[in-house]
A = this chain, B = another copy of it.
Amino acid sequence: MLQHFEKYIKLSAPLKDELTKRVTLKTFKKGHLVHNADKVCTKSYFIQKGLMRLYSIKDGKEITAFFCAENEWVNSPNSFIQQQLDIYYIDTIEATECYCLNVGDLVYLFEHFPEMEQYARLSMGTNLAYYLERISSMHFTRATEKYQHFCKTYQDVHHRIPLGMVSSYLGITQETLSRIRAEK
Protein backbone atom coordinates (compact mmCIF):
# COMPACT_ATOMS: atom_id res chain seq x y z
CA MET A 1 0.00 0.00 0.00
CA LEU A 2 2.82 2.36 0.87
CA GLN A 3 4.31 1.62 -2.53
CA HIS A 4 1.12 2.84 -4.09
CA PHE A 5 1.44 6.14 -2.25
CA GLU A 6 5.02 6.45 -3.37
CA LYS A 7 3.93 6.33 -6.98
CA TYR A 8 2.45 9.78 -6.37
CA ILE A 9 4.27 11.42 -3.47
CA LYS A 10 7.36 11.04 -1.34
CA LEU A 11 6.32 9.50 1.98
CA SER A 12 7.86 11.15 4.99
CA ALA A 13 8.63 8.87 7.94
CA PRO A 14 5.94 10.40 10.20
CA LEU A 15 3.29 10.08 7.49
CA LYS A 16 4.33 6.50 6.87
CA ASP A 17 3.93 5.88 10.59
CA GLU A 18 0.51 7.44 10.82
CA LEU A 19 -0.67 5.54 7.78
CA THR A 20 0.41 2.14 9.03
CA LYS A 21 -0.95 2.96 12.47
CA ARG A 22 -4.38 3.98 11.18
CA VAL A 23 -4.91 1.19 8.70
CA THR A 24 -6.21 -2.27 9.66
CA LEU A 25 -5.86 -5.52 7.78
CA LYS A 26 -9.14 -7.27 6.98
CA THR A 27 -10.01 -10.54 5.34
CA PHE A 28 -13.31 -11.22 3.62
CA LYS A 29 -14.47 -14.46 2.15
CA LYS A 30 -15.89 -14.83 -1.32
CA GLY A 31 -19.25 -13.18 -1.87
CA HIS A 32 -19.06 -11.00 1.25
CA LEU A 33 -21.06 -7.77 1.12
CA VAL A 34 -18.40 -5.27 2.09
CA HIS A 35 -20.54 -2.18 1.72
CA ASN A 36 -24.30 -1.88 1.74
CA ALA A 37 -26.00 0.99 -0.11
CA ASP A 38 -28.29 1.57 2.85
CA LYS A 39 -25.37 3.03 4.83
CA VAL A 40 -23.03 5.92 4.26
CA CYS A 41 -19.64 4.59 3.20
CA THR A 42 -17.12 5.37 5.91
CA LYS A 43 -14.35 3.03 4.89
CA SER A 44 -11.99 2.74 2.00
CA TYR A 45 -10.25 -0.53 1.20
CA PHE A 46 -6.92 -1.04 -0.43
CA ILE A 47 -6.89 -4.47 -2.01
CA GLN A 48 -3.85 -6.53 -1.15
CA LYS A 49 -5.04 -9.76 -2.67
CA GLY A 50 -8.38 -10.58 -4.23
CA LEU A 51 -11.12 -9.05 -6.29
CA MET A 52 -14.12 -6.85 -5.53
CA ARG A 53 -16.85 -5.11 -7.48
CA LEU A 54 -18.90 -1.97 -7.21
CA TYR A 55 -22.49 -2.48 -8.26
CA SER A 56 -25.97 -1.07 -7.96
CA ILE A 57 -29.36 -2.72 -8.17
CA LYS A 58 -31.97 -1.78 -10.74
CA ASP A 59 -35.30 -3.61 -11.04
CA GLY A 60 -33.91 -6.30 -8.79
CA LYS A 61 -30.95 -6.83 -11.08
CA GLU A 62 -27.35 -6.19 -10.18
CA ILE A 63 -25.55 -3.75 -12.44
CA THR A 64 -21.79 -3.83 -12.14
CA ALA A 65 -20.17 -0.41 -12.37
CA PHE A 66 -16.65 -1.77 -12.24
CA PHE A 67 -14.30 -4.33 -10.81
CA CYS A 68 -11.47 -3.59 -8.42
CA ALA A 69 -8.35 -5.67 -8.25
CA GLU A 70 -5.04 -5.78 -6.42
CA ASN A 71 -3.37 -2.49 -5.50
CA GLU A 72 -6.47 -0.36 -5.89
CA TRP A 73 -8.61 1.56 -3.47
CA VAL A 74 -12.28 0.65 -3.36
CA ASN A 75 -15.15 2.52 -1.80
CA SER A 76 -18.51 3.88 -2.82
CA PRO A 77 -17.00 7.05 -4.28
CA ASN A 78 -19.72 9.63 -3.72
CA SER A 79 -20.82 8.16 -0.49
CA PHE A 80 -17.29 8.10 0.86
CA ILE A 81 -16.25 11.53 -0.39
CA GLN A 82 -19.47 13.42 0.31
CA GLN A 83 -20.47 11.31 3.31
CA GLN A 84 -23.97 10.81 2.02
CA LEU A 85 -26.03 7.88 0.76
CA ASP A 86 -25.48 6.52 -2.72
CA ILE A 87 -26.75 3.60 -4.78
CA TYR A 88 -23.64 1.45 -4.76
CA TYR A 89 -22.88 -1.84 -3.06
CA ILE A 90 -19.49 -3.46 -2.81
CA ASP A 91 -18.83 -7.15 -2.53
CA THR A 92 -16.01 -9.59 -3.01
CA ILE A 93 -15.73 -11.84 -6.03
CA GLU A 94 -13.03 -13.90 -4.36
CA ALA A 95 -11.65 -14.24 -0.88
CA THR A 96 -10.04 -10.85 -0.39
CA GLU A 97 -7.44 -9.41 1.90
CA CYS A 98 -7.25 -5.66 2.23
CA TYR A 99 -6.23 -2.66 4.27
CA CYS A 100 -9.07 -0.62 5.66
CA LEU A 101 -8.98 3.12 6.29
CA ASN A 102 -11.72 5.16 7.96
CA VAL A 103 -12.90 8.54 6.65
CA GLY A 104 -12.11 10.00 10.01
CA ASP A 105 -8.52 8.86 9.82
CA LEU A 106 -8.26 10.07 6.27
CA VAL A 107 -9.51 13.50 7.27
CA TYR A 108 -6.93 13.56 10.04
CA LEU A 109 -4.23 12.78 7.52
CA PHE A 110 -5.45 15.52 5.17
CA GLU A 111 -5.34 17.99 8.00
CA HIS A 112 -1.88 17.10 9.24
CA PHE A 113 -0.06 16.14 6.08
CA PRO A 114 -0.44 18.55 3.18
CA GLU A 115 1.22 16.02 0.86
CA MET A 116 -1.84 13.84 1.38
CA GLU A 117 -3.88 16.45 -0.48
CA GLN A 118 -1.47 16.15 -3.32
CA TYR A 119 -1.68 12.37 -3.24
CA ALA A 120 -5.46 12.63 -3.39
CA ARG A 121 -5.37 15.05 -6.29
CA LEU A 122 -2.94 12.95 -8.29
CA SER A 123 -4.49 9.57 -7.61
CA MET A 124 -7.93 10.93 -8.37
CA GLY A 125 -6.45 12.02 -11.66
CA THR A 126 -5.71 8.43 -12.61
CA ASN A 127 -9.16 7.43 -11.43
CA LEU A 128 -10.73 10.10 -13.56
CA ALA A 129 -8.80 8.66 -16.49
CA TYR A 130 -10.23 5.21 -15.82
CA TYR A 131 -13.74 6.57 -15.63
CA LEU A 132 -13.34 8.50 -18.85
CA GLU A 133 -12.00 5.44 -20.58
CA ARG A 134 -14.99 3.54 -19.31
CA ILE A 135 -17.40 6.16 -20.61
CA SER A 136 -15.75 6.11 -23.98
CA SER A 137 -15.83 2.31 -24.10
CA MET A 138 -19.53 2.30 -23.37
CA HIS A 139 -20.06 3.96 -26.72
CA PHE A 140 -19.13 0.74 -28.49
CA THR A 141 -22.27 -0.53 -30.16
CA ARG A 142 -21.47 -4.15 -30.96
CA ALA A 143 -21.49 -6.56 -28.05
CA THR A 144 -18.31 -8.17 -29.33
CA GLU A 145 -16.39 -4.90 -29.22
CA LYS A 146 -17.57 -4.29 -25.68
CA TYR A 147 -16.38 -7.70 -24.60
CA GLN A 148 -13.01 -7.35 -26.29
CA HIS A 149 -12.48 -4.01 -24.61
CA PHE A 150 -13.38 -5.53 -21.28
CA CYS A 151 -10.81 -8.29 -21.74
CA LYS A 152 -8.18 -5.71 -22.53
CA THR A 153 -8.89 -3.44 -19.56
CA TYR A 154 -9.16 -6.34 -17.12
CA GLN A 155 -6.44 -8.33 -18.80
CA ASP A 156 -5.08 -10.15 -15.74
CA VAL A 157 -8.36 -10.68 -13.91
CA HIS A 158 -11.11 -11.08 -16.50
CA HIS A 159 -11.12 -14.87 -16.34
CA ARG A 160 -11.68 -14.75 -12.59
CA ILE A 161 -15.03 -12.97 -12.97
CA PRO A 162 -18.28 -14.92 -13.40
CA LEU A 163 -20.14 -14.44 -16.66
CA GLY A 164 -23.21 -12.85 -15.11
CA MET A 165 -21.20 -10.06 -13.57
CA VAL A 166 -19.37 -9.40 -16.79
CA SER A 167 -22.59 -9.21 -18.77
CA SER A 168 -24.14 -6.77 -16.30
CA TYR A 169 -20.97 -4.71 -16.51
CA LEU A 170 -21.16 -4.62 -20.30
CA GLY A 171 -24.89 -4.01 -20.46
CA ILE A 172 -25.66 -7.13 -22.44
CA THR A 173 -27.41 -10.35 -21.46
CA GLN A 174 -25.69 -13.45 -20.14
CA GLU A 175 -26.90 -15.42 -23.12
CA THR A 176 -25.35 -13.03 -25.60
CA LEU A 177 -22.07 -12.99 -23.73
CA SER A 178 -22.02 -16.76 -23.58
CA ARG A 179 -22.54 -16.93 -27.34
CA ILE A 180 -19.78 -14.41 -27.94
CA ARG A 181 -17.40 -16.48 -25.86
CA ALA A 182 -18.42 -19.63 -27.71
CA GLU A 183 -17.39 -18.39 -31.14
CA LYS A 184 -13.62 -18.32 -31.74
A residues sitting closer than 8 Å to B (CB atoms) are 56, 58, 63, 65-66, 77-78, 81-82, 87, 110, 114, 117-118, 120-121, 124-125, 127-129, 131-132, 134-136, 138-139, 141, 171
How many protomers of this protein does the assembly include?
2
For the complex, would chain A's binding face be called helix, strand, loop or mixed by DSSP majority? helix
**CA of A57 to CA of B82 in the docked complex: distance in angstroms?**
34
Q: Are B117 and A65 in contact (CB under 8 A)?
A: no
Q: Are B117 and A121 in contact (CB under 8 A)?
A: yes
B contact residues around A132 at 8 Å (CB):
65, 77-78, 131
User: Are A128 and B128 also in contact (CB < 8 A) when A65-B135, A117-B114, A141-B171 are?
Assistant: yes
User: Are A128 and B81 also in contact (CB < 8 A) when A114-B114, A117-B117, A136-B87 are?
Assistant: yes
A56 CB to closest chain B CB (Å) equals 6
B contact residues around A82 at 8 Å (CB):
125, 129
